[in-house]
């Protein structure tokens, strides 16, 4: 039986981990109730349609507590074929008869069961991001290029011979096959392009297509096949391997330019749980937001962030369009880039859907018609020759191609994270994420659910990272974190000066103010979340003073499309269980009144109500016209 497939969209996941970094599955379980609360909604629909069904399905089964032989023995005794152990989430991937899934869900030993969903990819950088001018900002480092930092690329493999990656010295330190493909090369073309955006050399085209971190080390984790298709269990397996081998290869960053439609709440989604385990182990995880930002008529769609981009610990990246210029005054969010809020949910004991409704993406980065390495003979260019960026090139090792999408924006941020970690190795994943948001440039004309904190600004981020104490001592909440004074909170790139956002997103709102970088915040510690700096109670957002020091201000507001932020206009967004209550945008700049209820199963496209399953994809990560998205497969 073939497993259901989903064409690559950009970003991949999944793997087992050290027990020390394994979170009990029960911590993410929905409230107590019937066995139905322990089954993902898409799997539940299959069970309801055929309660006694004997057809085989591929699922991920999570134990209620540490995974043991008793769990796997029970599954096997009921006719399940255990394929992989996914220790990072206390789970296993299993092929079993449909009715067995229902039986297992009624046993206390098991916490949650979800389909092993298909996952797909989502798809001048130096100058426009500020990376070029940041190379000499750190004393003692002659060229800030990510040297020594390991970045795991979970994708369709990497074409080893391209000079963008292997000229003189290969940037690839290890190559792993997690899908049983029998090789780690890139027949599709996506993974090679993504890796080149991260660490492309300056050897070809006079250095015009140099990557963000050309000195970084690449860990090639192949999880997608030559059609850009993969499975959650293989991605979890790769994440698990990265956690277990993070010291050996100095893996500090995982890039996942791929995703699957968000079904489960992040609290139960197996991919999200694997990402959280990597984050808790000290790895920065960068994911693509998705490419479902508009329908076939060009209307904006909200609420289409992909998994695992819905995970709070991940740095979720949307795509912006630079129009090929280094200057940033004309930059804007790409029309196809997925917008928030996140729409994963669980069903409570009363049968109500409880949506996560988190503010995502966290920020945006250049992702439209980006030129980077082309894998020789790859299927993307074979079927879409218009993606060839230089048809006159005769040296096959110098081939370059275009790609567009959040798949391309994500590795830009992964490269930026590597630069920050080279500049200051003591940074925690939360500090890296906070710095990137704090220094981002808010883009006028786009709201928070489109751009997060704003556009990536590597110049500003490095200026902050280099003056954070290194090594970073154990600090109490509110203690001074900088070794020197904070610089002017603005950057000048290609002659244009712009202010930093000075804000950090925390689930449903912003924290803002210079104390966020002047002083240590408890939410920056490893193993915590930035969102622990705020909480929602009795209809109000509150600061958690254990994790946020004095001098930090809490904004109820989100960016409006004129680039300003509503700060004191009442509660705008609270992540309630219903979609689009409390200030989700109805039209581009119209807010719903507090407690106004639309529906718990609709998306909004500039005033047009759409079904929860509506989405669109761009075939082959190209810039061709948008085509209908089937709801189960798609390439961004």
Q: Which of the following is catalytic: 58, 155, 269, 547?
A: 155
> Bridge-partner residues for 363, per DSSP?
317
- The angle at the Cα of 567, spanning 566 to 571, to the nearest 5 degrees, equals 85
Any catalytic annotation for residue 196? no
What is residue 482's three-state secondary structure? strand
Please provide residue 365's backbone torsions phi and psi, each rounded to the nearest 5 degrees: -145, 160
The dihedral sign for the CA sequence 88, 85, 185, 410: negative
Any catalytic annotation for residue 407? yes
**Cα 286 to Cα 256: distance, rounded to the nearest angstrom:** 6
List Cβ neighbours of 257 (8 Å cut-off, separation of 6 or more).
Answer: 10, 11, 12, 121, 122, 123, 155, 190, 194, 288, 406, 407, 408, 410, 411
Count of residues making up the chain: 636
DSSP state of 301: -
What is the DSSP track for 342-387?
---EEE-TTS-EEE------SEEEE-SSEEEE--TT-HHHHH-GGG
What is residue 175's three-state secondary structure? strand
* Tokens describing residue 286: 């960068």
Q: How far is the CA of 44 from the CAs of 35, 47, 106, 113, 153, in angstroms?
A: 10, 5, 13, 9, 33
**Cα 325 to Cα 112: distance, rounded to the nearest angstrom:** 48
**Cα 403 to Cα 122: distance, rounded to the nearest angstrom:** 10
Closest to 59 measured CA to CA, from 1, 8, 20: 1
Q: Which of the following is catalytic: 93, 120, 406, 407?
A: 407
CA atoms within 13 A on the CB side of 510: 25
Residue with tokens 């751009």: 451
Q: Kindly tell me the burial class for residue 275, based on how many C-beta atoms sit within 10 Å of its own C-beta (0-12, 13-18, 19 or more).
A: buried
Q: CA gyration radius for the chain? A: 23
> Bridge-partner residues for 81, per DSSP?
95
Helix axes 406-423, 458-465, angle to 10 degrees: 30
Any catalytic annotation for residue 177? no
DSSP state of 387: G
Instruction: Note whether 46 and 71 are within 8 A (CB).
Output: no
Q: Which of the following is catalytic: 116, 186, 190, 292?
A: 190
Alpha helices (runs of H) in 153-306, residue ranges in sequence order? 163-166, 190-199, 232-244, 270-280
Q: Looking at the annotation, which residues are catalytic? A: 155, 190, 407
């Amino acid at each position: 039986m073939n497993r259901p497939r989903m064409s690559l969209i950009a970003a991949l996941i999944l793997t087992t981990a050290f027990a020390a970094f394994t979170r009990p599955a029960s911590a993410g379980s929905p409230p107590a109730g019937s066995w139905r609360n322990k089954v993902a909604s898409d799997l539940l629909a299959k069970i309801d349609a055929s309660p006694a069904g004997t057809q085989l399905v591929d699922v991920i089964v999570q134990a209620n507590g540490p995974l043991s032989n008793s769990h796997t023995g029970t599954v096997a005794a009921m006719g399940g074929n255990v394929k992989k152990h996914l220790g990072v989430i206390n789970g296993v991937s299993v092929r079993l008869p449909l009715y067995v899934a229902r039986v297992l869900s009624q046993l206390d030993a098991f916490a949650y069961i979800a389909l092993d969903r298909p996952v797909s990819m989502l798809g001048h950088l130096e100058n426009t991001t500020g990376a070029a001018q940041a190379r000499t900002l750190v004393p003692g480092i002659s060229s800030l290029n990510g040297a020594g930092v390991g970045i795991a690329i979970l994708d369709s493999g990497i074409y080893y011979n391209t000079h963008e990656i292997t000229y003189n010295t290969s940037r690839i330190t290890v190559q792993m096959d997690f899908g049983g493909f029998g090789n780690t090369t890139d027949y599709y073309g996506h993974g090679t392009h993504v890796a080149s955006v991260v660490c492309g050399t300056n050897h070809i085209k006079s250095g015009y297509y140099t990557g963000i971190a050309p000195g970084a080390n690449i860990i090639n984790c192949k999880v997608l096949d030559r059609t850009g298709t993969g499975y959650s269990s293989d991605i979890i397996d790769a994440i698990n391997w990265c956690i277990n081998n993070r010291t050996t290869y100095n893996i500090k960053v995982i890039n996942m330019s791929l995703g699957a439609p968000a079904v489960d709440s992040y609290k139960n989604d197996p991919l999200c749980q694997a990402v959280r385990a990597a984050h808790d182990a000290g790895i920065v995880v960068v994911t693509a937001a998705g490419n479902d930002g508009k329908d076939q008529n060009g209307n904006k769609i909200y609420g289409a962030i992909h998994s695992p981009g819905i995970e709070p610990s991940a740095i979720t990246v949307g795509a912006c369009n630079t129009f090929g210029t280094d200057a940033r005054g004309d930059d804007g969010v790409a029309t196809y880039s997925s917008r928030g809020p996140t729409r994963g949910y669980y069903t409570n004991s009363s049968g109500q859907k409880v949506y996560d409704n988190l503010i995502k993406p966290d920020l945006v980065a250049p992702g439209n018609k980006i030129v980077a390495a082309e894998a020789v003979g790859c299927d993307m260019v074979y079927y879409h020759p218009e993606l060839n960026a230089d048809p006159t090139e005769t040296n096959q090792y110098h081939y370059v191609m275009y790609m567009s999408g959040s798949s391309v924006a994500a590795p830009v941020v992964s490269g930026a994270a590597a630069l920050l970690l080279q500049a200051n190795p003591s940074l925690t994943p939360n500090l890296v994420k906070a710095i990137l948001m704090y220094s981002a440039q808010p883009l006028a004309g786009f709201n928070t659910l489109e751009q997060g904190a704003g556009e990536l600004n590597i110049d500003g981020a490095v200026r902050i990272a280099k003056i954070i104490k290194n090594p970073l001592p154990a600090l109490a909440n509110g203690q001074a974190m900088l070794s020197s004074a904070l610089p002017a909170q603005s950057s000048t790139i290609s002659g244009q000066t712009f202010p930093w956002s000075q804000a950090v997103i925390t689930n449903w709102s912003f924290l803002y103010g210079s104390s966020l970088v002047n002083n240590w915040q408890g939410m920056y510690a490893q193993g915590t979340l930035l969102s622990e700096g705020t909480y929602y109670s009795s209809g109000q957002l509150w600061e958690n003073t254990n994790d946020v020091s004095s001098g930090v201000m809490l904004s109820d507001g989100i960016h409006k499309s004129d680039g300003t932020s509503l700060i004191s206009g009442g509660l705008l967004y609270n992540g309630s269980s219903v979609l689009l209550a409390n200030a989700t945008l109805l039209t581009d700049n119209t807010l719903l009144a507090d407690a106004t209820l639309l529906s718990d199963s609709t998306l909004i496209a500039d005033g047009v109500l759409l079904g929860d399953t509506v989405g669109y994809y761009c075939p082959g990560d190209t810039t061709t016209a948008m085509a209908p998205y089937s709801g189960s497969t798609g390439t961004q």
